[in-house]
């Protein structure tokens, strides 16, 4: 067995086709490192062009710990060696597959392939969430990896223990077609140097489309798979705009996702002798023409979008649609998105946001980059990663489920064994889950196949997945674990019990057993037909007698709060910090199924109603009043309105007479809370949306009259104050005691 000769053969073929090859060295770990050195030496790959990702120290090449593998993103190496002995993360695999340059080698060190699926490592330990143990974790994902390694083109496999080359990794057929060369348009507005920096015709087309960002009202969508140069094109556009003196605001889920934008912008400005400050680590570039390229996290960028000349949203598919919509306030905006990749769900962006963009009044330019930058089309390493990690998974085509309705679907418990045995079914399920959430990663596929706490429930129409839910079993923890959680220890995989226990100080919260709805999605061609609610109904029927509660946690919006309320879930908590990516506060909701579940939901609903006024007046002062209204409406708790005679005189005087709420603002809080929790109940006159927003802003969030008047479009502060009194009248009528009604009647008699 000549490992050096095999490495040389693989590299020769890779260079001849400008593609990459995957070399699997399976067996003893020490032997794997020795074989990797031998193969790379035979392939004539310099040590300086090789990166090794391992937790093992003392390797001969540039080493990265697995937790720092993301530092290789945006870089290229002739060879990358991934050590899968210590812990095998699908996310790491997905990231590293794109780092290898054309003509290079991706080397994977694994245990013996037949035994690998049954071994357990650090990644498996993360899947073994309490009360489950490591023995409960399956090895389905690694069996999938092994199966694809053994039959995918361009993958060489060496059994080190047996001293046998199982596969040589050759690819038959004609060489791939080359990419169209870049070109400079005749009538270009951006500098010629920007076009000369492009590497493919696709990139120059994208750059030309991005020239429209010079005009107000422009919107550009740049879509590509990983490695097509979309971020580089965006960076060249940002640098060109900054050279003209424009303010370019760049955002992405994390700065590292936008690092390529800044690198290309900096290089271009430097080439134009227009770079004043080139410290990319400061996340800000300045040009001699007074322009700037600056980075902000998505929520802050959305707030500032209207102040910039142009906004570039990179990895847009990894942001929620509600946040993407806010960027439409920008003067000009570009959305750059990965169609298939661990960064996010391009399909979700395409289906859920694209229509809203094109239906608006903006002139939308769309560009799709197909040609890889670092390697030729048809690269077997890329296609292997797509296949293994389901990066291109998608729901059924629209026509197959267009007629699906509640009466025509079948409810199914989908076991892991069924998903493993049916690749088509697995791709449809995972494709819908990708569609459901703006940040789905390869690790999620491994969790779906191997984590013992996850369950899949689905609705099928004519054998096609039309709606799917992913459930996580939580709770059922022993007294010692509950005590440690109460004392601040994090317990993996128990999100709802953890919050209720550690933050909300309920040591018994993790005793009942529940299923948390992690994801739920309905096919876009069959939405608005009640299928999501029907699936939740069936899940509830199925869970009766097996768990104590169903729950959910998500970024709170009025629409989602109403959906979950209509399906029997009640609010028990609102987070006091925003999600750094989405900018949303989270809502936690419960639907009890047993006496223990009802006791849990009752006390947390009651505690939520008791504390929410104080929370809204401090950490949640900026929460959308419509979210407040929807969250309180979904609260199943009695809010006592037990005011003193003095408080009632203040309230009734502000409603019907000359009184002012500012003299005793706390008196209004239980009244407003009671109304919002029971908005469809006791009030003799329904308040308008605007009136309820006014009450939330003033009474619960303690905002200034001038702020409220401006936000809610009252003509003056005085008009806002009078509207406040009018909004309080039906509350006095509905909840007032004898003192309140006497005060009311006094002013009514005077009138």
Q: What pLDDT is attached to residue 554?
A: 93
Residue 68 above 70 pLDDT?
yes
Inside any domain, residue 103? yes
Inside any domain, residue 440? yes
Model confidence at 344, in pLDDT bands (50, 70, 90)? very low
Asked whether the beta carbons of 720 and 709 are under 8 A apart, the reply is yes
Asked whether the beta carbons of 491 and 500 are under 8 A apart, the reply is no
- Domain match, 460 and 332 both: no
Q: Considering its fold, how many domains does the chain have in total?
A: 4
| 528-532: average pLDDT | 94
Q: Where are the beta strands (DSSP E) in 451-543?
A: 454-461, 464-475, 513-522
Strand partners, 658: none
Strand partners, 196: none
For 744, the enclosing helix (H) or strand (E) is helix 738-750
Q: What is the DSSP string of 491-535?
A: -TT-HHHHIIIIITT-TTTTSSEEEEEEEEEE-GGG-SSSHHHHH
Inside any domain, residue 652? yes
**C-alpha span between 582 and 344 (Å, rounded):** 13
SS3 747: helix
CATH number of the domain residue 219 falls in: 3.40.50.300
Which of 603, 619, 635 is the C-terminal boundary of a domain? 619
- Domain match, 406 and 335 both: no
**C-alpha span between 332 and 305 (Å, rounded):** 9
Q: What pLDDT is attached to residue 692?
A: 96
Residue 585 above 50 pLDDT?
yes
Residue 354 above 80 pLDDT?
no
Please provide the distance, in angstroms rounded to a whole number, between the alpha carbons at the two ends of the chain: 104
Query: Which ranges of 28-139 does DSSP label H, i.e. alpha helix?
Result: 29-42, 90-97, 122-127
SS (H, E, C) 335-356: EEEECEECCEEHHHHHHHCHHH
Q: What pLDDT is attached to residue 119?
A: 94
**C-alpha span between 751 and 746 (Å, rounded):** 9
Asked whether the beta carbons of 504 and 607 are under 8 A apart, the reply is yes
- Domain match, 565 and 441 both: yes
Asked whether the beta carbons of 206 and 195 are under 8 A apart, the reply is no
Inside any domain, residue 365? yes
Residue 107 above 50 pLDDT?
yes
| 598-621: average pLDDT | 96
> Which token pair is 494?
């128990």
For 251, the enclosing helix (H) or strand (E) is strand 247-251
Model confidence at 345, in pLDDT bands (50, 70, 90)? very low
CATH number of the domain residue 90 falls in: 3.40.50.11040
> Which token pair is 320?
């929620």
Among 133-137, 239-243, 373-377, 600-604, the minimum mean pLDDT is found in: 373-377
Crossing angle of the two packed helices 738-750 and 717-735, in degrees rounded to 10: 130
**Each residue of 44-62: pLDDT tens digit?**
999 999 999 999 888 878 9
Model confidence at 112, in pLDDT bands (50, 70, 90)? very high
- Domain match, 470 and 505 both: yes
Asked whether the beta carbons of 471 and 442 are under 8 A apart, the reply is no
- Domain match, 114 and 233 both: no
Model confidence at 346, in pLDDT bands (50, 70, 90)? very low
Residue 70 above 90 pLDDT?
no
Residue 282 above 90 pLDDT?
no
Inside any domain, residue 173? no
Which of 327, 350, 369 is the C-terminal boundary of a domain? 369
- Domain match, 597 and 649 both: no
| 683-706: average pLDDT | 92
Asked whether the beta carbons of 551 and 514 are under 8 A apart, the reply is yes
Model confidence at 680, in pLDDT bands (50, 70, 90)? low
- Domain match, 280 and 408 both: no
Inside any domain, residue 176? no
For 102, the enclosing helix (H) or strand (E) is strand 100-110
- Domain match, 62 and 151 both: yes
Q: Under 8 Å CB-to-CB from 364, ≥6 apart: which residues? A: 219, 220, 221, 357, 358
Residue 179 above 90 pLDDT?
no
- Domain match, 147 and 211 both: no
Model confidence at 445, in pLDDT bands (50, 70, 90)? very high
**C-alpha span between 199 and 228 (Å, rounded):** 10
Inside any domain, residue 33? yes
CATH number of the domain residue 540 falls in: 3.40.630.30
- Return the percentage of the chain with pLDDT > 70, whole number: 96
Residue 702 above 50 pLDDT?
yes
Q: What pLDDT is attached to residue 340?
A: 67
Average model confidence (pLDDT) for the chain? Answer: 92
Q: What pLDDT is attached to residue 269?
A: 96
Which of 369, 384, 413 is the C-terminal boundary of a domain? 369
The structure's pTM equals 0.89
Model confidence at 305, in pLDDT bands (50, 70, 90)? very high
Inside any domain, residue 472? yes
**C-alpha span between 165 and 25 (Å, rounded):** 9
- Decide: residue 214, CB within 10 A, 0-12 exposed, 13-18 middle, 19+ buried: middle
Model confidence at 360, in pLDDT bands (50, 70, 90)? confident
- Domain match, 321 and 247 both: yes
- Domain match, 602 and 652 both: no
* CA torsion through residues 40, 43, 44, 46, sign: negative
Indicate left, alpha or beta for 423 from its phi (over 0: left) and psi (-120 to 50: alpha).
alpha
**C-alpha span between 705 and 751 (Å, rounded):** 27
Rounded to the nearest 10°, the torsion over CA 328, 329, 334, 340 is -40
- Domain match, 741 and 596 both: no
> Which token pair is 440?
């789905």
**Domain that residue 23 falls in:** 3-168
**Each residue of 553-570: pLDDT tens digit?**
999 999 999 999 999 999
């Amino acid at each position: 067995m000549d490992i050096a000769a095999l490495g040389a053969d693989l590299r020769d073929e890779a260079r001849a086709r400008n593609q990459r090859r995957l070399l699997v060295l399976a067996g003893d770990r020490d032997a794997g490192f020795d074989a990797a050195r031998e193969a790379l030496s035979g392939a004539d790959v310099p040590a300086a062009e090789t990166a090794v990702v391992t937790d093992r120290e003392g390797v001969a090449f540039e080493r990265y710990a697995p937790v720092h593998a993301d530092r290789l993103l945006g870089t290229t190496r002739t060879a990358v060696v991934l050590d899968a002995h210590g812990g095998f993360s699908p996310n790491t695999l997905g990231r590293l597959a794109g780092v290898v340059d054309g003509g290079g080698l991706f080397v994977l060190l694994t245990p013996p392939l037949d035994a690998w699926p049954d071994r357990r490592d650090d990644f498996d330990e993360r899947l073994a969430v309490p009360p489950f143990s490591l023995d409960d974790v399956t090895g389905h994902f690694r069996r999938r990896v092994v199966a694809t390694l053994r039959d995918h083109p361009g993958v060489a496999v060496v059994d080190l223990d047996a001293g046998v080359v199982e596969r040589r990794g050759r690819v038959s057929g004609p060489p791939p077609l080359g990419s169209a060369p870049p070109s400079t348009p005749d009538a270009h507005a951006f500098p010629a140097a920007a076009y000369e920096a492009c590497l493919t015709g696709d990139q120059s087309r994208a750059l030309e489309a991005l020239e429209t960002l010079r005009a107000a009202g422009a919107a550009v969508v740049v879509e590509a798979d990983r490695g097509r140069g979309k971020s580089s094109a965006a960076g060249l556009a940002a640098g060109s705009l900054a050279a003209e003196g424009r303010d370019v605001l760049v955002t992405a889920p994390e700065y590292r996702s936008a690092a390529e934008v800044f690198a290309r912008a900096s290089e271009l400005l430097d080439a134009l002798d227009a770079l004043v400050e080139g410290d990319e680590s400061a996340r800000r570039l300045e040009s001699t023409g007074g322009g700037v390229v600056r980075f902000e996290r998505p929520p802050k960028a959305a707030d500032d979008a209207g102040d910039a000349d142009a906004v570039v949203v990179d990895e847009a598919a990894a942001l929620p649609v509600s946040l993407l919509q806010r960027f439409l306030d920008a003067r000009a905006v570009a959305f750059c998105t990965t169609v298939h990749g661990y960064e996010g769900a391009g399909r979700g962006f395409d289906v859920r946001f694209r229509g809203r963009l094109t239906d608006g009044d903006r002139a939308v330019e769309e560009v799709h980059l197909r040609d890889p930058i670092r390697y030729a089309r048809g690269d077997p390493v890329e296609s292997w990663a797509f296949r293994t990690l389901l990066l291109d998974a998608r729901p059924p085509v629209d026509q197959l489920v267009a007629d699906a309705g509640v009466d025509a679907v079948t409810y199914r418990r989908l076991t892991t064994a069924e998903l493993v045995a049916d690749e088509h079914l697995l791709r449809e399920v995972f494709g819908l889950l990708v569609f459901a959430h703006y940040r789905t990663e390869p690790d999620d596929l491994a969790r779906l196949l191997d984590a013992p706490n996850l369950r899949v429930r689905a609705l099928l129409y004519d054998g096609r997945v039309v709606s799917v839910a992913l459930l996580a079993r939580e709770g059922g923890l022993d007294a010692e674990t509950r005590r440690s959680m109460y004392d601040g220890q994090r317990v993996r995989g128990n999100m709802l019990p953890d919050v209720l226990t550690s933050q909300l100080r309920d040591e018994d919260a993790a005793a009942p057993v529940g299923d948390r709805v992690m994801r739920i999605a309905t096919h876009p061609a069959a939405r608005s037909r009640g299928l999501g609610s029907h699936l939740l109904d069936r899940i509830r029927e199925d869970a009766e007698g097996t768990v104590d509660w169903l729950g959910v946690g998500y970024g709170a919006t009025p629409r989602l709060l109403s959906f979950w309320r209509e399906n029997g879930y009640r609010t028990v908590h609102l987070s006091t910090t925003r999600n750094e990516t989405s900018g949303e506060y989270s809502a936690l909701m419960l639907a009890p199924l047993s006496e223990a579940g009802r006791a849990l939901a009752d006390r947390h609903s009651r505690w939520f109603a008791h504390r929410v006024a104080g929370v809204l007046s401090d950490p949640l002062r900026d929460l959308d009043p419509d979210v407040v209204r929807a969250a309180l409406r979904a609260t199943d708790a009695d809010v006592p309105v037990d005011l003193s005679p003095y408080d009632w005189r203040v309230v009734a005087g502000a409603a019907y007479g000359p009184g002012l709420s500012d003299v005793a603002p706390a008196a209004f809080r239980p009244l407003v809370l009671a109304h919002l929790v029971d908005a469809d109940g006791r009030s003799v006159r329904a308040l308008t949306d605007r009136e309820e927003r006014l009450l939330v802003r003033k009474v619960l969030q303690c905002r200034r009259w001038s702020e409220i008047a401006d936000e809610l479009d009252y003509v003056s502060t005085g008009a806002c104050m009078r509207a406040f009194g009018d909004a309080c009248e039906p509350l006095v009528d509905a909840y007032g005691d004898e003192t309140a009604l006497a005060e009311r009647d006094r002013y009514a008699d005077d009138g």
